[in-house]
Amino acid sequence: MCTLSNPETSVGIGLDTIERILEDYNSYILTLARQAVIRSATRAEVLDMEIDEIAQMTRVKLWQTLQKTRVDNLKAYIRRIAHNEAINRIRQQHKEVIPLPVDEQNEVSQEYTPLSQSESILDPVTIFEQKEAIAECTRKLITLVIQLPHRQQQAMICSLKERHDDPASLALSFKLAGKDIVSYNWPGDKVDENRLRASLSFTRRRLRRYFVVA
């Protein structure tokens, strides 16, 4: 969770410090912008432009905030800004109103049927937010996994790499959390592999309680 200091009792930080923060977090901002654009199913020809736009607006809003107050959790706050900017970009791109089909008398055609509830789920903002929710669960899982004892951690990482649809994206998510998983693989010896896999059941039960919906 990100929190802002009380603006009535605190002031922003100096410009030199803000510039240093923006420089230190620039790579993180670009990564978040890239992930957001990919989740929004942006057309390939404007991919880089959208990444730059979201990253730049994130920097601007972070700058404006830091001039006024202090932020207790910079990463969480930057993530929230990038998320909101991605939503704004999606809405801007899909704000055109689709005209209703009309007949020769300029009446709404009988062939027109409003969107059903299932079709409305295809709203691009809804799709993006669903993907963001999945990404948030992934971040939570990664945070828990890297706190596990070594053997359980190794088993979970190997299992995730084996089952994940996009191993490169998984590796990047772990890297953002400070863990390089490139060298994590199941042991070459089958006996050792089976022993490691045997710990998965207990580890999954241990982690599952953090994801139970009340």
Which candidate, 50, 53, 52, 74, places its Cα nearest to that of 63? 74
Highest mean pLDDT among 121-125, 174-178, 199-203: 199-203
pLDDT, tens digit, 9 for 90 and up, residues 156-170: 999 999 988 888 888
Please tell me the least confidently modeled range out of 75-79, 111-115, 158-162: 111-115
- Quick one: pLDDT at residue 139? 84
pLDDT, tens digit, 9 for 90 and up, residues 96-107: 444 445 455 555
Taking phi over 0 as left and psi of -120 to 50 as alpha, with beta for the rest, 123 belongs to beta
pLDDT, tens digit, 9 for 90 and up, residues 136-157: 788 889 999 999 999 999 999 9
Rounded Cα distance, 19 and 28, in Å:
15
- 149 and 155 in contact (C-beta within 8 Å)? no
Rounded Cα distance, 206 and 137, in Å:
16
Which candidate, 56, 59, 57, places its Cα nearest to that of 74? 59
What is the dihedral angle through the alpha carbons of 85, 86, 88, 93, rounded to the nearest 10 degrees? 140
Which candidate, 118, 102, 108, 199, places its Cα nearest to that of 156? 199
Task: Please count the CA atoms within 13 angstroms of the CA of 173 that sit on its side-chain side.
Answer: 22
Taking residue 141's Cβ as centre, other Cβ atoms within 10 Å add up to: 16
Q: Where are the domains of the chain?
A: 15-93, 148-211
Highest mean pLDDT among 89-93, 121-125, 132-136, 166-170: 166-170
Highest mean pLDDT among 41-50, 108-117, 128-137: 128-137
Q: Does domain 15-93 bear CATH number 1.10.472?
A: no
Q: What is the pTM of this model?
A: 0.51
